[in-house]
């Protein structure tokens, strides 16, 4: 039983086999980021901490836009 894989084993890795699984996940993540940034831009005058939310959306991958829609959109409702 081989427990350690080396760099030579990467040549046998089939990227095209897992691409149909990974591509939709990447596309959904990018779409969430795009929609969150558009919403943040459209409501930038009523939102608090626009710069911080932009950084969270961009750098916290899929979780960032979800946090923005759950927490960040409520900032303007309280004001």
Q: What is the mean pLDDT of each run of 10 residues along the chain (79 residues)?
A: 70 82 91 93 88 92 86 65
What is the reported pTM? 0.71
Residue from 43, 41, 66 nearest 56 by CA: 66
Q: For residue 71, what are the contacts with CB-CB under 8 A and spacing of at least 6? A: none
| Per-residue model confidence as pLDDT tens digits over 42-52 | 988 888 889 99
Dihedral of alpha carbons 41, 42, 44, 49, sign: negative
Place of tokens 């750098």: 59
Return the number of other C-beta atoms located less than 10 Å from residue 53's C-beta.
24
């Amino acid at each position: 039983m081989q427990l350690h894989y080396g760099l030579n084993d990467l040549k046998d890795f089939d990227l095209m086999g897992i691409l149909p699984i990974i591509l939709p996940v990447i596309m959904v993540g990018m779409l969430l980021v795009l929609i969150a940034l558009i919403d943040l831009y459209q409501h930038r005058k009523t939102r608090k901490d626009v710069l911080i939310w932009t950084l969270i959306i961009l750098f916290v991958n899929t979780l960032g836009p979800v946090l923005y829609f759950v927490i960040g959109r409520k900032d303007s409702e309280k004001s």
